[in-house]
Structure 1
Amino acid sequence: MKKLLLFITSIITVVTLTACSSSNTKNKLQEVKEKNKIVLGVSPDYPPYEFLTTENGNKKVVGADIYLAEQVAKKLGVQVEIQQMAFDSLIAALNANKVDMVISGVNPTEERKKAVDFSDVYYTSKGIFVVNKDSEEIKSVADLKNKKIGVQKGSTYETYAKEQLKMDDKNIQALTDVPSLLQDLKNKKIDAVLIPDDVAKIAMNKYTDIKISTFTADNDPEATGMAIAFKKGKNDSNKELLEQVNAVIKEIQDQKAFEKELDKYAKVAAQSE
């Protein structure tokens, strides 16, 4: 009888301790609200999504993605703190707890889904080639064989150039920011740059000696769309936060608000130095 009572007492103790432990474990939404801010990781070299501009003599990160981050923060009742870094460092920063979320034109590929959690897709763009006006037109994948293509380092375009276009590493110029790629294109160090159409349209307004190629490759890397990335949660620790974020995305999509912000910041970026 004593052994039975001891066994029952042990079970009750374990259950109680487990329940207490679970109740003391904060989910991501609770953590963000408790510190009254959400830290955003962003690579501000991707206008009109995110880029640097000068206001009253001070540098400021602006863009459609920043607008989205502000709407998320507003929904959560917290402030946004922006951390700038290279695009290929964003996921690592997320998993190292240096930032809470990443909104930087990130495509939710199957490979990335293994490392982080994603929100619903908030926007889908289209990948295109930008070339010099006096260059030979790209008409097929075969035409890319002996050309050097510029892509953003760590982006889906870098993977696309290697795996889909089957290009040799020596013919791929991977840099951390798009403006540097466009400058290399103007200086004819590379033959083409593969970027989203929204980014390319701004480049057209700023540079008169480049153009958008009529060639479009199959399996567009932008087809997966763009989503907000969060550190992969355990035991549904991200569930409440993702529900709130996805509600913001749905509202913005219903109002076509993101497209309006893209148009707004495309004009700002075209006028920026």
Structure 2
Amino acid sequence: MKGLKVILSFVFVCLLLFSCDSDRSKSNYLKQSKSTYQRILESGKIRVGYISYPPSFIKDPNTGKFSGIFHEVLQEIGKKLQLKIEYTEEVGWGSMIEAINSGRVDLICTGVWPTTERGKHVDFTKPLYYSTVRAYVRFNDNRFDGNLTKINNPDIRISSIDGEMTSIIAKFDFPKAKEVSLTQMNDVSQVLLEVSSGKADITFVEPAIALEYMSKNPGKIKEVKNVPPLRVFPNTMIVGKGEVELLSTINIGIDELANNGFIDKIVSKYEKFPGSFQKIALPFREE
């Protein structure tokens, strides 16, 4: 009889432990299955990673204050959603995807250009505006005018930033050329300084970046003449792969702010050199 009681007690303890483990597993499953969007609604905030890339996104190095096109647009979307925009982490071009996929941030708020390699790991919002990428050389260098294929030469040095579009273009379009690489945390204008100082022969940036540099450093660099832009890119934000609810909600906000003119107004506010960016073309609307 005593032995039976011992057995029954053992069975009871096992069932109790199994029940607890089952409850914990169920709880963990529910936590893991909860979407980023559901967690955002519960917490009331969107955790945002950012890259300081003027005028797309600007962080004042002295005050830490944020500004820029994407900052103002995301703040407006946050107001409409009644969600707090919390800038959680400053990231680099090569680390932004890892910051999303590790769960440290929910969204990257900077003008990110979609590529197939990036699209394998993250999803992109609708664009706020478009950017061209053009080639820039020293002021007295005419070697590439009318013919960018001359860049694809082992003697040519391309100034680039690891993981950024300068490096992507260099590797894909001009694989024979030599890259003079800078780290991800360098300001993009540094690639132009490398060219103007003679450390590199050529680089590829947006006109807005180059025109700003040229206004402060006249007679140092110039755009390569009589060649088309190397790329035309939509400027987007990124979210985690498959985060459909969050992506859809942000896109609805972008559509609304494009439709009511808010995005165009903000782009014009930060477009120091008119024509630097290509604005979103809205469908024809009869007045």
Q: What TM-score comes out, normalization by structure 1 length? A: 0.76
Residue 10 (structure 2) aligns with: none
8 A contact 2:148–2:227 mirrored in 1: no
Which residue, out of 123, 126, 134, partners 2:132?
126
Any idea what SS the aligned residue of 1:103 has?
Answer: strand
Residue 225 (structure 2) aligns with: 214
In 1, distance between residues paired with 2:246 and 2:269?
A: 28
Residue 185 (structure 1) aligns with: 195
Deviation at 1:217, TM superposition (A): 5.0
Which residue, out of 45, 61, 67, partners 1:37?
45
In 1, distance between residues paired with 2:32 and 2:144?
A: 59
Any idea what SS the aligned residue of 1:69 has?
Answer: helix
Deviation at 1:49, TM superposition (A): 0.8
Any idea what SS the aligned residue of 2:124 has?
Answer: strand
- 1:57-115 CA-to-partner distances (Å, cap 9, x unmatched) read 62323211212221232232111122212221111111111111012221222221110
Any idea what SS the aligned residue of 1:99 has?
Answer: coil
Residue 91 (structure 1) aligns with: 97
Any idea what SS the aligned residue of 1:222 has?
Answer: strand
Residue 102 (structure 1) aligns with: 108
Q: Which amino acid aligns with 2:170?
A: A
Residue 4 (structure 1) aligns with: none
Structure of higher CA gyration radius: 2
1:217–1:165 CA distance, 2 compared to 1 (3 A)? farther
Report the structure, 1 or 2, having the larger helix content.
Answer: 1
Any idea what SS the aligned residue of 1:134 has?
Answer: coil
Q: Which amino acid aligns with 1:201?
A: L
Any idea what SS the aligned residue of 1:171 has?
Answer: strand
Q: Which amino acid aligns with 1:52?
A: K
8 A contact 1:43–1:86 mirrored in 2: yes
Residue 141 (structure 1) aligns with: 148
Does residue 227 of structure 1 match 2:236? yes
Which runs of structure 2 are paired with 1:21-60 in the superposition (5 Å)?
Answer: 25-44=33-52, 46-53=53-60, 58-60=63-65
Identity of aligned residues (%): 26
Q: CA RMSD of the aligned region, Å?
A: 2.8
In 2, distance between residues paired with 1:126 and 1:33?
A: 36
Residue 15 (structure 1) aligns with: none
In 2, distance between residues paired with 1:24 and 1:181?
A: 42
In 1, distance between residues paired with 2:67 and 2:56?
A: 8
Identify unmatched segments of 5+ residues in structure 1: 1-17, 269-273
Any idea what SS the aligned residue of 2:94 has?
Answer: helix
Identify unmatched segments of 5+ residues in structure 2: 1-25, 274-287
Residue 80 (structure 2) aligns with: 75
Q: Which amino acid aligns with 1:66?
A: H
Deviation at 1:259, TM superposition (A): 4.1
Q: What TM-score comes out, normalization by structure 2 length? A: 0.73
- 1:175-217 CA-to-partner distances (Å, cap 9, x unmatched) read 4231322222232211222112232232232221222222545
Question: What stretches of structure 1 move > 4 A for 4+ residues in a row?
Answer: 21-25
Q: Which amino acid aligns with 2:139?
A: K
Residue 8 (structure 1) aligns with: none
1:156–1:256 CA distance, 2 compared to 1 (3 A)? farther
8 A contact 1:149–1:190 mirrored in 2: yes
Which runs of structure 2 are paired with 1:255-266 in the superposition (5 Å)?
Answer: 255-266=260-271
Q: Which amino acid aligns with 2:150?
A: D
1:73–1:127 CA distance, 2 compared to 1 (3 A)? same
In 1, distance between residues paired with 2:259 and 2:121?
A: 30
Deviation at 1:48, TM superposition (A): 1.0
Q: Which amino acid aligns with 1:31?
A: R
Which residue, out of 160, 163, 168, partners 2:172?
163
Question: Greater relative contact order: 1 or 2 (C-alpha under 8 angstroms, separation 6 or more)?
Answer: 1
Does residue 151 of structure 1 match 2:156? no
In 1, distance between residues paired with 2:236 and 2:260?
A: 18
